[in-house]
Amino acid sequence: MFPASQRYDRQIRFPGLGEEGQARLGQAKVVQVGCGGLGSTLAQCMVRAGVGRLTIIDSDAADITNLHRQFLFDEEDAEKKAPKALAAAKLLKKADSDAKVSGIVAEFSAVNAGDFLPGNDLVLDGTDNMETRYIINDWCVKHDIPWIYGGVLGATGMIMVVLPGKGPCIRCLYPDAELIGKNAPSAEHAGIINTLPAFIASLQATEAIKLLINSPDLIQDLRIADLWSGDYQRISVNRDPQCPCCGKRRFRFLESAS
């Protein structure tokens, strides 16, 4: 058993966080949808930073093709086809035996979103597809819960913080759901370098920490990074009054649940 004052000493010393920030993190409840490349780093950062509770939802089993970029899993997990949500929770408990981290083996959907998301302060996107992100976006905008988008492919990734009622949502950015959905390229087809998910998830986790401690330094725009070329972009995204989700409050991606 290690006292929190020791465990978090180095981040408490960081002026942006401090003791007050650490105390707020300790009260925070976070749910993470997906535990692959992004999710491995998200979960590590959330638990090790000291969030009060982390729930990890993932339906996949670990596979040898994951290991180059999904840093929570090992060969034994891949051989056993261990459910990622459970393997992640087990490993994180080793890092912090006091951590309240739970893994749920389930395929996140419009039907079960209402079972898993309520009661959380923040939803983290560790998914690999836009369909799931639209469900998260609809649910979070409808229920006024912030979420943090992260996307990765090849060597390029992006993040955006979605603050319902205050800033743009993901459908202000990508209004045409049909174009983005099922035909979008995946890591299986387009490949991915192993530094990218860790990098993008680190940006997401940093924004998560800032958001959870009410930091005024939260970023408000879309950030895109190409790690191969080393190019970084900031793109401002405006809230669209005609947005079908946050503008017109039509939550079509939740409709299958009703």
CB of 242 to Zn ion, least distance (A): 9
Number of residues that bind Zn ion (CB under 5 A): 6
Q: Where are the alpha helices (DSSP H) in the chain?
A: 4-7, 9-12, 18-27, 37-49, 75-80, 84-95, 113-116, 130-143, 170-173, 177-180, 187-190, 195-212
Rounded to an integer, what distance in angstroms lies between the CA atom of residue 223 and that of residue 32? 20
Output the smallest distance, CB 150 to Zn ion, in A. Answer: 18
Out of 51, 89, 135, 243, point to the residue binding Zn ion (CB under 5 A).
243
**Counting contacts by CB under 5 A, is residue 53 touching Zn ion?**
no
The contacts of residue 192 (CB under 8 Å, 6+ apart) are 37, 69, 152, 153, 154, 155
Query: Following CA atoms 35, 40, 44, 47 in sequence, which dihedral angle do they give, to the nearest 10 degrees?
Result: 0
User: Exactly one of 126, 246, 251, 253 binds Zn ion (CB under 5 A); which one?
Assistant: 246
- Minimum gap (Å) between residue 223 Cβ and Zn ion: 18
User: Whole-number minimum distance, CB 244 to Zn ion, in Å?
Assistant: 8
CB 210 within 8 A of CB 84: no
By CB under 5 A, the residues from 150 to 209 that bind Zn ion are 169, 171-172
Q: Please give the structure tokens belonging to residue 88.
A: 């992640």
Q: Which is nearer to Zn ion, 53 or 171 (CB)?
A: 171
Which of the ranges 54-62, 96-104, 125-133, 244-252 carries the binding residues for Zn ion, by CB under 5 A?
244-252
Residue number, 169 or 209, with CB nearest to Zn ion: 169
Interface with Zn ion (CB under 5 A): 169, 171-172, 243, 245-246
